[in-house]
Amino acid sequence: MDRRRFLQTASVAALGAPLLWSPLAEARPKPPFPELLLRGSAGAIGRAHGKALAPQIKDNVGFYLRWLAGITKRDHASLLRIASGFAAPLAAHAPHILEEIKGVAAGSGRTLSELLLVNARTDMLVLARKKAKRRQPKRVQRSRAAPGCTALALVGRGRSGPRIALGQNWDWRSDLIGHTAVLRIQRRGALPLVTFSEAGMVGKIGMNRRKVGVCLNFLEHRDDANVHSYGLPVHVLLRLVMEQPDLDHAVRLVERAKRCASANFLVAEHGARGPRAVDLEWTSQRVAKLWLSQGALVHTNHYVAGAMRKGCTSQRSHSTNNRYKQATARAVASSKQRDPVVRMQHILADRVGAPYSVSKSSVKGSRSQTLAGVVMDLSSNSLRLSSGPPHLNAFKWRPGA
């Protein structure tokens, strides 16, 4: 299917009609991830997003209220009051994102505070849990909220020269199955971008038409114990990275941003200087950079940079260490293979060390699994998506931004 026909069917899908998105559409008439083509002003984009995904957004609001309440021991009203505080930094530093979130709220029939909570769900763990730790330290400290994502960038050779792939598995709670979407955002006066995201969120994993892409790993650090004020939410920063014209602008954006949580952004591009990638391990207080070397860069859910390791509080799981070692080993072992896109798909389907493997199935006693595999071929501006664990679900091609 060519790009023009694909985008025509994507526009229809935004209105609720079935989307025929691959040559295998006859066998699977509805895609695993709905696809929306969103154009116009920030407010118009938000309203269309909210209207098209209203049922999923309602469910996501409910899930994150329950999830955060269980971790922080706060009631829903208290959580929404805290979430409302993110409006001020958004108005000051990303007003178009605030306008878009307001549009999502209006289109879906939810409140602004509810959509701020969804978009700041990672940061809420810091701002809402801080006081709860003092009230019930043992119980809350034992509540581990870290999902297990594996992200990587690989450089190889294509028919016309160097080629770079960027991607990850997104591991999270099974409650989110059927509550994600691919958003093609073409805001007036801005770079077109495509992002795989949770319904109601302005962005997560994605790339823009200038071949700049970003992936995400959840991290926790002791630096965040000293956070006393709001910043830009993690998922808003992901979206802002996707709006940057090149990797250098993306790095400066994260370094200069007012932050209130921790995360890892794996950012890559295929620009004028060729394929490049960097890991940005950051907290509310500082940023460490790990640059691509020897054609591969891997990250999971613990800090790797020496200056950051001491304060890491998200490295206690065997899962993150096993996934990091296995993905790195696979990247090195496959380095002689030319095609980084094919290599990445195989690595993201790896099952060594299950249930602590790169690709995770739903298992008894665990409420999380790999919900999606995302491979971005930045060099050719295209995507491959797996609906569920890649070892059980094939990657399907989609156009990029």
Please check whether residue 241 lies inside any domain of the structure: yes
Whether 203 maps to a domain, the answer reads no
Contact between 328 and 296 (Cβ < 8 Å): yes
Encode pLDDT of 267-310 as tens digits: 999 999 999 999 999 999 999 999 999 999 999 999 999 989 88
- Give me Rg for the CA atoms of the chain: 20
Evaluate whether residue 105 is within a structural domain.
yes
Tens of pLDDT, residue by residue over 373-387, are: 999 999 999 999 999
| pLDDT of 313 | 87
Which domain range does residue 391 map to?
150-178+210-399
Q: How confident is the model at residue 147 (pLDDT cuts 50, 70, 90)?
A: low
- The one-character DSSP state at 284 is S
| 87 shares its domain with 161 | no
> Into how many domains does the chain fold?
2
- Residue 357 sits in the same domain as residue 247: yes
Say yes or no: 105 and 72 in one domain. Answer: yes
Q: Are residues 120 and 158 in the same domain?
A: no
Number of helical (H) and strand (E) elements in the chain, helices listed first: 15, 14
Strands laid side by side in the 193-198 sheet: 35-40, 180-187, 193-198, 205-208, 212-218, 263-271, 274-282, 287-291
- Region 6-18: mean pLDDT is 39
Among 235, 9, 14, 11, CA closest to 122: 235
Distance, in Å, from the CA atom of 162 to the CA atom of 375, rounded to the nearest integer, reads 17
Q: Determine contact, residues 209/191, Cβ cutoff 8 Å.
A: yes
Do the domain assignments include residue 188? Answer: no
130 and 242 housed in the same domain: no
Least confidently predicted of 311-315, 362-366, 387-391: 362-366
Give yes or no: residues 297 and 376 share one domain.
yes
Query: Does 300 fall in a domain?
Result: yes
Mean pLDDT over the full length of the chain: 89
Cβ–Cβ < 8 Å for 195, 203: yes
Tens-digit pLDDT profile for residues 307-338: 898 889 886 678 899 999 999 999 999 998 99
Residue at token pair 């509080």: 313
Is 392 found in the same domain as 355?
yes
226 pLDDT tier (thresholds 50, 70, 90): confident
322 to each of 149, 318, 388, 389, how far by Cα in Å?
12, 6, 20, 17
Task: State mean pLDDT over 197-206.
Answer: 99
Residue at a domain's end among 91, 123, 141? 141
* Residue 389 maps to a domain: yes
Q: Which of 399, 40, 8 is nearest to 209 (CA)?
A: 399
What is the three-state SS of 57-80?
HHHHHHHHHHHHHHHHCCCHHHHH
Is residue 193 in some structural domain? no
Provide mean pLDDT across the span 116-139.
74
Mean pLDDT of 133-146: 38
Write the CA distances from 254 to 69, 195, 383, integer angstroms.
29, 18, 24
Domain end, chosen from 141, 159, 189, is at 141
Is 187 within the bounds of a domain? Answer: no
Task: Say yes or no: 117 and 154 in one domain.
Answer: no
pLDDT tens per residue across span 58-117 = 999 999 999 999 999 999 999 999 999 999 999 999 999 999 999 999 999 999 999 999
Mean predicted confidence (pLDDT) in 195-200:
99
| Higher pLDDT among residues 3 and 377, named by residue | 377
Residue at which a domain ends, from 82, 113, 141: 141
In this predicted structure, what is the pLDDT of residue 30? Answer: 41
User: Within this chain, do residues 88 and 120 fall inside the same structural domain, yes or no?
Assistant: yes
Instruction: Give the H or E element holding residue 390.
Output: none
* pTM (predicted TM-score): 0.89
Instruction: Measure the CA angle with vertex 330, ends 361 and 153; round to 5°.
Output: 90
Looking up residue 50, the CATH number of its domain turns out to be 1.10.439
Q: Which of 285, 257, 265 is nearest to 93 (CA)?
A: 257
